[in-house]
Structure 1
Amino acid sequence: MTWLLLLCAGSCFLSLGLLIPAIPVHVTGVLGQGPAWVGACLAVTAVCAVLARPLAGRLADRRSRRFAAAAGAALLALTSGAVPWTGTLPSFLACRAVAGVGEALMYVGLAAAASDHDRPGPALNGFSVAVNAGLLAGAPIAAAVAALAGPRAVWTLSAAVAAAAFTACLFLTDPRDGGDPAAAGEGRRSGTGIHRAGLVPGLAYWASVWGYTAFSAFLPLHLAALGGGSGPHFLVYGCVLLGVRVGGHRVLARMPAGRTATAALLLTAAGLVLFVAWPTVTGALWATAVLAAGQALGLPAFLTMAVTGVPAGQRGSAVATTTAFFDLGFLSAALALGAVAQSHGLARGFALAACVAGLAPLLLTLHPQNVSRRTT
C-alpha cells in the first residue's frame, strides 16, 4: 500500500464529500427546486454509477488501474467545474449523471489497485480509511468555504481537488508495468465486467448499506423526536469508524475476511436494534457507536472476500461487482425504509434494516471460500 494510492483515494473522495452539503443548496437555492429534486439528482448519480460499474471493471482489468482511476478523477473535476456555469436543472442533472460514471471509474480503479498489494486485506483497509476520511472531512470544509466565499466556491474547490487527484493518479503503478502476462491477460476472460466472486460479498455489502442508509436518513428525525441534535452522533460515528479501521488494522489483518464480514453485519444489526430498544439521546449515542463499528469492519472485509483467490487481471471486475451493490443498497433502502417509516414510524424502519443486516450472514455461507472450507 503506497502513500500515493492513499493520497489519490483521499483526494477523490474529499472532492465527493465537499458536494454532500453543496448539492441540496444548489438544487433548492440556485435552481429554485423543491426537496424532491434533491433526491432525484442523487438517484441519477447512483443509477449512472451502477450502470458504469461493469465498464469500470473491464477498463481496470484490460487497460489499467491507472487509466480507470485517472479517467474517473478527470470526469469528477470536469463536472464539478461546470456546475457554477450551468443555471438549469437539465444541465445540472447531466453533470450529476456524468459524475456518477466518474465516481464508478475512480472507485473501481483505485480499489483494484489496492487489491494488487501482496497483502490485499490490510491494503484494502488502508484504502477504506482514506475513502472515509475524505468523505467525513468534506462536509465541514464545504460549510467553512461556503461561509467565507459562497456556495460557488465549494464546487470550484471540489473541481480543483479532483484535478489534483487526476494528476496523482497518472503516477500510480500497475501490474502490467512489470510485464506480468497473467495480470495482463486473465482479465480478458470476463466479457461483461460482472464477476461471480463479487456477487456474494456484494449482496452482503447491500445488506450493510441498508443499515447505513437507515442511520444516515433517519437519525436526525429520530433525535429531533427525542429533543436532541444529530451533530454529536455523526461525530461519534466518524470517530469510531476511523478509530476501528486505523487502531484495529493489525488485529483485523489476522482475521479471516468471512468472519470479519459476519461481525460487521451483526454489529450493524445490533446498533439498529439499540435505536429501537433504547429510545433516548444517550441510547442513540451507544447505538451509533455499535453501528459505526460494524460499518468500519464491513467494506474492507467484503472487498477482501471478493478479490481473494481471483487473478490480478480479473480483480477490477470483482471489485466493480461488489461496489455496485452500494448504490443498489442505497436506492432500495431509501425507497423501502422511507415508505415503512412514513406508514409505520421510524422504529419500524430501523427494525426492518436490522432484519436485513442480521440475516445477511446466511448469505456468506454461499461464498466459494466458505463452501470449500466446509467441504475440506
Structure 2
Amino acid sequence: MDRPERLLTPPFVFTIVAELGVFLTIGMLLPVLPVYAKDELGAGSIGIGIAVAAVSPTALLFQPLVGQLGDRRGRRLLVVSGPLVVAGTVASYTFASSLWALVGLRLLGGLGEALLYVGAATIVTDLAPADRRGEAMSLYSLGLWGGLALGPVLGEAVLGDARYDAVWLTAAAFSLAAAFVAMTIPETRPAAGTRPAHRPRLLHPAAIRPGLVLVTTIFGFAGFNTFVALYARQLGLDGAGPVFFLFSGIVVAVRFFGRRLPDRLGAKRAAGSALVLLTVGLLAIGLWNQPIGLYLGTSIFALGAALAFPALMTLAISGADDFDRSSVVGTFSACADVGFALGALTLGGVASLVGYDGVFLFSAGFAAFGMVVLARLPTHVPVRALEAA
C-alpha cells in the first residue's frame, strides 16, 4: 500500500503561521475598533459601522485582481506584501485623528487582507497533493479561526485603560512578523514556460458555480453572526458568548479531526452534506424557540459550516488547471464577501418584518436553494481514479 504524500511540509506550515499572524491582527481590532471610533473619534452608530466594515469593499473588489496577479507574478509576492500593507495601515491608526482618516486606512487595509488571503490559500492548494486538497483547506482555515478566536482576547487585554496606540502597534507587529515568516516560503507558481496561452479573466468560470453555492452558505452565517446575540437575549439568556464558543469549538474540531472528510466523501458530496446540515440547523434555531433549540441548532449549523468551505473550495480548484489556481481562489473568496454583504443587507429587513426567528428560517431557505445550485455542478473524477486509468 502506497504511503500518502506528505502534507505538513515546512512551507505549508509557514503559510498557515503567516495567515495566523494577520488574523491575530484582525482579531485584536474587532473589540477595540468600535470603542475607539465611538469614544475617541465621536462616531455614531452609522459611523462605527462604516469604520468596521470599510475593509470589505476593497477586499471584495481586489480579490479577483489579486488572483490574476498571483497567477502572473507569483504567490510569494502576495503573502509578503499583504501582511506588510496590513501592518503599515494598522500602525498608522496611531495618527488617525478623524473618523474619515480611519476609514481611509481601513479601506487600504482591505487590499492587504485580500493579498494575504488569496496568496496563502493558493500556496496551500499548490503544495497539497491533489487528493488531499480538502484536508489542506481545512487545516488552512485553522489559522484564520485561531486568529479570530485569540485576537479579541489579546486586544482587550492590551487595551486596558484606553491604551489604543498599544493595541494598534501590537496588532501591527503580528502582521509584520507574518511578513517575515512569509519571506521563508518558496514560490509555488508553475513554471511560466509551461503556461497555456489564453486571455486573463477577471472572474474565473471554474469558481463561479461553487462560489454561488458558497454565497448561500455565507448568507446564513451573516445572519447568525448579526442576530444570534439579540435572539439569545429574546430567549431569556444573558448573552450569546456560550453560543459563539460552541459554534467556534465545533468548527475547529471538525476542521482538525475531520479534515479528511471532504477528500474521503468527495467534494460535491461533502458540500451537499454541509448544505443539509446548515438548513436543518437554521430551521431548528428558527422553529424551536427555546434555549435548547438554539444550542442544538447551533451545533448542527456549525457542523455544516465546518464542511462547507473546504469542500466548495476543493470543488472550485478541481475545475481549473494549475496555472489559473490563484485566479480561482480570488474569484471564490470574493463570493464569500458577496454572501456576507448580501446577508447583512437583506436580513436586517427580514428581522424588522418577521422577527429574529424569521431571520434563521429565511436563511434556511437560502441554504436549501444552494442544494439546487450544487446539484447542477459536475462531479469531478477523483485524482486517483484518473491516475489509475
Of 204, 208, 217, which residue of structure 1 is paired with 2:217? 208
Aligned to 1:356: 366
Of 194, 205, 214, which residue of structure 1 is paired with 2:203? 194
Between the two proteins, what is the percent identity of the paired residues? 32
Give me the whole-angstrom Cα distance separating, in 1, the residues matched to 2:104 and 2:260.
Answer: 43
Of 48, 51, 61, which residue of structure 2 is paired with 1:51? 61
Give me the whole-angstrom Cα distance separating, in 2, the residues matched to 1:219 and 1:179.
Answer: 48
Instruction: State the Cα RMSD in Å.
Output: 1.9
Aligned to 1:68: 78
Structure 2 counterpart of 1:102, one-letter code: G
Aligned to 2:280: 270
The Cα of 1:290 is off from its aligned counterpart by 1.1
Aligned: 1:344 with 2:354 = yes
Aligned to 2:236: 227
**Partner SS state of residue 189, structure 1:** coil
Equivalent positions of 1:116-135 (< 5 A) are: 116=126, 117-118=128-129, 119-135=132-148
The Cα of 1:133 is off from its aligned counterpart by 1.4
Aligned to 1:314: 324
Deviations 1:318-356 (A, max 9, x none): 011111011111111111100110122111111111110
Structure 2 counterpart of 1:217, one-letter code: T
Per the normalisation by structure 2, the TM-score is: 0.90
Equivalent positions of 1:64-143 (< 5 A) are: 64-116=74-126, 117-118=128-129, 119-143=132-156
Give me the whole-angstrom Cα distance separating, in 1, the residues matched to 2:241 and 2:180.
Answer: 35
Structure 2: which 5+ runs fail to align? 1-7, 383-389
The Cα of 1:101 is off from its aligned counterpart by 1.0
The Cα of 1:309 is off from its aligned counterpart by 4.2
The 8 Å contact of residues 193 and 320 in structure 1, kept in 2 or not, is answered as no
Give me the whole-angstrom Cα distance separating, in 2, the residues matched to 1:83 and 1:190.
Answer: 40
Change in Cα spacing, 1:358 to 1:309, as seen in structure 2 (3 Å) is: closer
Give me the whole-angstrom Cα distance separating, in 2, the residues matched to 1:192 and 1:89.
Answer: 36
Aligned to 2:260: 250
The Cα of 1:70 is off from its aligned counterpart by 1.3
The 8 Å contact of residues 63 and 331 in structure 2, kept in 1 or not, is answered as yes
Deviations 1:194-250 (A, max 9, x none): 100111111111111111111111111001111211111111111101011111123
Give me the whole-angstrom Cα distance separating, in 2, the residues matched to 1:97 and 1:356.
Answer: 30
Give me the whole-angstrom Cα distance separating, in 2, the residues matched to 1:250 and 1:49.
Answer: 29
Name the structure where helix makes up a greater proportion of residues: 1
Give me the whole-angstrom Cα distance separating, in 2, the residues matched to 1:94 and 1:155.
Answer: 16
Structure 1 counterpart of 2:100, one-letter code: P
Give me the whole-angstrom Cα distance separating, in 1, the residues matched to 2:368 and 2:70.
Answer: 33
Change in Cα spacing, 1:309 to 1:341, as seen in structure 2 (3 Å) is: closer
Structure 1 counterpart of 2:226, one-letter code: A
Of 280, 283, 288, which residue of structure 1 is paired with 2:293? 283
Change in Cα spacing, 1:356 to 1:190, as seen in structure 2 (3 Å) is: farther
- Please say which of residues 40-49 and 283-292 is displaced more in the overlay: 40-49
Structure 1 counterpart of 2:182, one-letter code: C
The Cα of 1:147 is off from its aligned counterpart by 2.2
Per the normalisation by structure 1, the TM-score is: 0.93
Structure 2 counterpart of 1:134, one-letter code: G
**Partner SS state of residue 249, structure 1:** coil
Aligned: 1:334 with 2:344 = yes
Structure 1 counterpart of 2:225, one-letter code: S
Deviations 1:124-172 (A, max 9, x none): 1110122111112111221222227723322212100010011111121
Of 136, 143, 146, which residue of structure 1 is paired with 2:159? 146
Structure 1: which 5+ runs fail to align? none
Give me the whole-angstrom Cα distance separating, in 2, the residues matched to 1:78 and 1:137.
Answer: 21
Give me the whole-angstrom Cα distance separating, in 2, the residues matched to 1:305 and 1:110.
Answer: 18
The 8 Å contact of residues 262 and 311 in structure 2, kept in 1 or not, is answered as no
Aligned to 2:186: 173
Aligned residue pairs total 368
Of 146, 154, 157, which residue of structure 1 is paired with 2:170? 157
Aligned to 1:10: 20
Change in Cα spacing, 1:62 to 1:39, as seen in structure 2 (3 Å) is: same
